[in-house]
Structure 1
Amino acid sequence: MYGFRCVAAVLPAMCLALAVSCAKKPTAPAAPPSPAAVARPAPAGLDDLARVHPLDHSRQLVLVVTRDYDSITGVLAFFERDGDGAPWRQVIGPFPVTVGRTGLAFGRGLHGHGPSLPGIPAKHEGDGKAPAGAFALTMGFSYDPKALGFSPKMPMHHVTADTICVENPDSRKYNMVFDESTAGPADWSGPDRMLRADGLYKNGLFVAHNTDPVAPGAGSCIFIHSWRGPDSPTAGCTAMEPGRVAELLRLLDAAKSPVMVQLPREARDRLAGAWGLPDMAAPGL
């Protein structure tokens, strides 16, 4: 998010439909029916969001909560459960994260396209906001996967100097991560290069925002990645201490259809019952 805006990925390493550029600015195997593949209409308000079930078939949850839509910081906790309807168990967290430099706005994900109400922003390209809602976590990435010290259970993209994410809405590669040398004639400019000197994307995860289908201009390149510090927001990603990123990569398992739910506190409270969100004690929120 410092150099990307955070991400959504599609399994083929060649062309991952994701959100990946948090600064300037990351699919599970075919299991019965994957929630990431279900297209839903745009709901009119938070009450309509309560009618969708973005955590169906998911056994892993990354829950991020901020104070309000304008907050640039929040907390994250990771939960697991044994099956649909089973109680969530908190595994790690809560711990601090930073989000977009202008807060949160509802994005496009497993919840649909987000509410359309006064005072509730909708995410669009270049707004500096991290996406609110529910999103599949489909792929991890690393500059050196072998250096992690464990074998991730997520599909992994090995990032090289050739790896980019495109933020130009009129490009055929908009909101995709791929290796530039394999992509054919370029119809993009100034792509986000994932191999960064500052190491913010040394390890991370693609967040499947605006991927099914990709809507030009609705926001691109959304990741979970390392932060510059606890007071440094991103351009649209969710960032944290580098060790926490590696910890999530160790815990997440594509076979368990992991989902990230990211919401301001008020929306979390409104949707907790309908979505089956677990409690997360977080002082200050």
Structure 2
Amino acid sequence: MKAFDLVLMPGHVRFLNSRFPCSIGRGGLTDDKREGDGATPRGVHRIVDVLYRADRMAPPVTWARPIGPNDLWSDASDDAAYNQPVRAPYAPSHERLRRTDPMYDLILVTDWNYPKAMPGKGSAIFVHQWRRPGWPTAGCVAFSRADLLFIAQNLRPESRLIIR
């Protein structure tokens, strides 16, 4: 493990010698991730990008990229752009990254099934803000806004999310 890794333990993530409460997917942890199963995949996932809402916060790190009004993420496993960032208009199934709620104001993008996606193996394992403490995600890992911001501000380009 590297010093700047996030390590998922039952109910929390260890990062920089601190513990941060978190939420995981409603389907629990899995070794066999499938699109739509609501599970969080075990493994070592690199943090490959940081996205943020420039109209709601300052960039947490110098390498963060702003989320635009037409930014989407494809979750259509039968489409060539599956598990890729796409832009509206986009007809296949997708997630809007610029949401009205604050859940995606700050997103840490992992390399789960990305950038070379295998159809049906699950899309968009993000680290993002939770709806509320303990509320499960669709497969992502989620934190309070303050904890997520602290984590993002202290990431390094080599940081990883380790899920055992």
TM over 0.5: yes
Counterpart amino acid of 1:65?
Answer: M
1:126-275 mapped onto 2 (5 Å cutoff): 126-144=36-54, 147-148=57-58, 152-153=61-62, 155-180=63-88, 186=90, 188-211=91-114, 213-254=116-157, 257-263=158-164
Aligned residues: 164
Amino acid at match of 1:231: G
8 Å Cα contact 2:83/2:115 also seen in 1 = no
Identity of aligned residues (%): 25
Query: Residues of 2 paired with 1:60 and 1:96: CA distance?
Result: 17
Segments of 4+ in structure 1 off by > 2 A?
Answer: 145-148, 178-181
Structure 1 contact 226–240 (Cα < 8 Å) conserved: yes
Counting helix residues as a fraction of each chain, which structure ranks higher? Answer: 1
2:85, 2:55 → 1: CA distance?
17
Q: Determine the structure 2 residue equivalent to 1:101.
A: 26
CA RMSD of aligned residues (A): 1.9
Counterpart contact for 2:27–2:38, Cα < 8 Å: yes
Deviation at 1:239, TM superposition (A): 0.6
Tell me the TM-score normalised to structure 2 length.
Answer: 0.91
Find the aligned partners of 1:134 and 1:200 in 2 and give their Cα distance.
23
- 2:15 is equivalent to residue 78 of structure 1: yes
Please give the secondary structure, in 1, of the residue aligned with 2:163: strand
CA distances 1:6-31 after superposition (whole Å, capped 9, x unpaired):
xxxxxxxxxxxxxxxxxxxxxxxxxx
Bigger strand fraction: 2
Q: Which runs of 5+ in 2 are unaligned?
A: none
Larger radius of gyration between Structure 1 and Structure 2 = 1
Q: 1:168 to 1:146 in 2, by over 3 A?
A: closer
